[in-house]
């Protein structure tokens, strides 16, 4: 397993992402929402994607009220398996912006935390689709536009506990290990291009998914979603590829 770099807690200078365009999956809540606000604060135009349009509208309104660059909303269900649906999404982005400087793969399906032999097959497949297959499909259709950027990022979110391949993490744990492998393969394939592929590992934090995987855990000492989002900005600014980052 690759070594993880710990990002400094210092704030990034303002407007570092000005005139860049980022697609953020899972933007309706948790790390996705916080990252959308953090990137917009840095001057980026963020494309908010997720299943819940009402929640996406709430994030959009927050960005608008703060006076950040106007965001865009593209409701999209990553459970879709047809490549054409993903191609239509990137066509929408191209028609609106003519550019894409990064994808933050922050949507996930936790499935069931429990013994492997008790996993429901249909749910297992959905976890793999949302957490891994959809990332592959999005990268495939978006790559031609990403490669036109002078500095593009594909960022995958892993999980500090699930990636350890311990008992009971089920399809969610398998998906995170697979996602890290996908990132490493892409980073190697795109090493001579302007597209950087990295993994972000939140660690113990105040995220909704952490409440599901660690019920009863004390909040004291856990990082906030805003702290994680500030670290995500640093990953977007990094010129390294094939790396694992945490904060």
Report, as residue numbers or ranges, the catalytic residues: 172
Distance CA 125, CA 46 (A): 29
Listed in sequence order, the residues at least 6 apart from 68 whose beta carbon sits closer than 8 Å to its beta carbon are 37, 40, 41, 43
Distance CA 70, CA 45 (A): 6
Q: Where are the beta strands (DSSP E) in 37-113?
A: 45-50, 72-75, 102-105
Strands 72-75 and 102-105: unpaired
Query: Beta partners for 155?
Result: 104, 198
Decide: 22 and 16 in contact? Cβ < 8 Å: no
């Amino acid at each position: 397993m690759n070594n993880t770099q710990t990002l400094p807690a210092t704030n990034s200078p303002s407007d570092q992402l000005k005139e860049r365009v980022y697609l953020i999956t899972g933007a309706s809540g948790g790390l996705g929402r916080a990252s959308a606000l953090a990137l917009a604060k840095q001057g980026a135009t963020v494309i908010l994607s997720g299943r819940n349009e009402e929640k996406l509208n709430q994030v959009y309104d927050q960005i608008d009220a703060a006076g950040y660059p106007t965001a865009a909303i593209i409701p999209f269900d990553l459970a879709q398996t047809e490549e054409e649906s993903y191609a239509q999404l990137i066509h929408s982005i191209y028609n609106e912006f003519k550019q894409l400087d990064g994808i933050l793969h922050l949507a996930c399906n936790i499935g069931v935390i429990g013994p492997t032999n008790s996993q429901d097959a249909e749910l297992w497949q959905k976890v793999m689709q949302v957490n891994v297959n959809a990332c592959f499909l999005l990268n495939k259709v978006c790559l031609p536009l990403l490669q036109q950027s002078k500095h593009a990022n594909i960022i995958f979110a892993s999980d500090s506990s699930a990636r350890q391949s311990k008992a009971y993490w089920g399809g969610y744990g398998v998906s995170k290990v697979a996602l890290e492998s996908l990132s490493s393969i892409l980073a190697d394939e795109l090493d001579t291009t302007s597209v950087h592929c990295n993994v972000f590992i939140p660690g113990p934090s105040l995220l909704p998914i952490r409440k599901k995987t660690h019920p009863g855990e004390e909040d004291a000492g856990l990082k906030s979603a805003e702290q994680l989002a500030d670290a995500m900005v640093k990953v977007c600014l990094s010129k390294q590829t094939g790396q694992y980052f945490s904060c």
